[in-house]
């Protein structure tokens, strides 16, 4: 019996993806930091959908966290055919507002953990008749965003990595999809420490985690390379490509400075 493994599964988009997959009767492995929240989500999914669930409470930003997740799966004979790299966060404001450890911690979670988990689980995924990798990037991946400079860069990395791997595996049994949500009604804005302008801008185009998850899971099973959620976010990505970069960057800076 194969499972879907989801990081950042205790709340927000990760929890909504877990719910979407559970509704399709897919058994789940849930990864996040809070054991209490994981226990609650796990119980709800089993009760509401009758699926098998197991969870591991771990801080994925720790250097050896990805290996610990893999070892936990191996020790429990958990085989996976869906890997959802969803855990991540942002830090808003000037680059030098944060310490080096704070910035590196975010990069570890947003970039290195998805790469490490993909590297570790890919041999197993390739043995499945059909397997999927779903990576959560951001609409910020399509442009430089002063005030979210490092976060946007980390999500651009994840988008490019996902698209490249999608092509590498095109004729194999593993499909790679990258979903790029815009503003979503999650705790992202709290941890990112968005200012009043950023909060106001986000509130005007917010999507629900459930809406994002539905789009993401559908795109994954359709084996799409990438999907941007929401008409406004798609338009924003197009305008970022069409308009002069400096104009787009200065406009963004007014929101996040």
Distance in angstroms between the alpha carbons of the first and the last residue of the chain: 49
How far apart (Å, rounded) are the C-alpha atoms in residues 177 and 189?
25
Instruction: Give me the DSSP letters along 66-128.
Output: HHHHHHHHHHTT-EEEEEEE-------S-GGGS-HHHHHHHHIIIIIHHHHHHHHHHHHHHTS
**Residue 226, both tokens:** 């990438």
Is the distance from CB of 177 to CB of 75 less than 8 angstroms?
A: no
Which of 55, 142, 151, 256 is the catalytic position?
151
Half-sphere exposure of 110 (CA within 13 A, CB side): 23
Is 151 tagged catalytic?
A: yes
CA 240 to chain CA centroid, nearest Å: 22
Catalytic residues: 151
């Amino acid at each position: 019996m194969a499972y879907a493994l989801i990081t950042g599964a205790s709340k927000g988009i990760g929890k909504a993806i877990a719910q979407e997959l559970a509704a399709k009767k897919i058994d789940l492995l849930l990864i996040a930091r809070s054991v209490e929240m994981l226990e609650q989500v796990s119980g709800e999914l089993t009760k509401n959908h009758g699926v098998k669930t197991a969870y591991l409470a771990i801080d994925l930003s720790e250097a050896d966290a990805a290996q610990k997740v893999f070892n936990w799966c191996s020790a429990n004979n958990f085989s996976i055919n869906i890997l959802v790299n969803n855990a991540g966060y942002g830090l808003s404001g000037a680059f030098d507002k944060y310490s080096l450890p704070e910035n590196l911690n975010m990069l570890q979670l947003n970039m290195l953990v998805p790469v490490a988990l993909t590297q570790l689980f890919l041999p197993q995924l390739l043995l499945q008749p059909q397997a999927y990798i779903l990576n959560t990037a951001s609409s910020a991946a399509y442009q430089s965003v002063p005030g979210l400079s490092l976060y946007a860069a980390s999500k651009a990395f994840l988008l490019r990595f996902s698209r490249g791997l999608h092509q590498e595996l095109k004729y194999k049994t593993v499909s790679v999809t990258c979903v790029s949500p815009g503003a979503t009604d999650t705790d992202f804005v709290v941890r990112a420490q968005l200012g009043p302008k950023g909060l106001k801008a986000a509130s005007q185009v917010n999507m629900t985690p459930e809406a994002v998850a539905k789009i993401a899971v559908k795109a994954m099973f359709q084996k799409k390379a990438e999907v941007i959620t929401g008409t406004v976010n798609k338009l924003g990505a197009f305008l970022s490509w069409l308009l002069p970069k400096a104009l787009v960057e200065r406009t963004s800076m007014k929101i996040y400075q």
